[in-house]
Amino acid sequence: MQSLFAKTFGGLSGPVYLRHFLFGAVIAALLITVALSGNHKPNYGFITFALINTLLYPYARFVYESVVGYIIGNNQFYFNAVAFVIAKYFTIMMCWAFAIFVAPIGLIYLFFRNSKRPTA
Break the chain into its structural domains and give their ranges: 4-116
Q: Quick: pLDDT tens for 42-55.
A: 888 999 999 999 99
Residues 6+ apart with CB under 8 A from 73: none
What pLDDT is stored for residue 117 in this prediction? 57
Asked whether the whole model's pTM tops 0.85, one would answer: no
CA 79, 84, 88, 94 torsion-angle sign = negative
What count of Cα atoms within 13 Å lies in the side-chain half-sphere of residue 4?
1
Helix runs in 1-120, H state only: 4-8, 14-36, 44-72, 81-97, 99-116
User: Helices 14-36 & 81-97, crossing angle to 10 degrees?
Assistant: 80
Q: Quick: pLDDT tens for 6-17.
A: 667 777 778 888
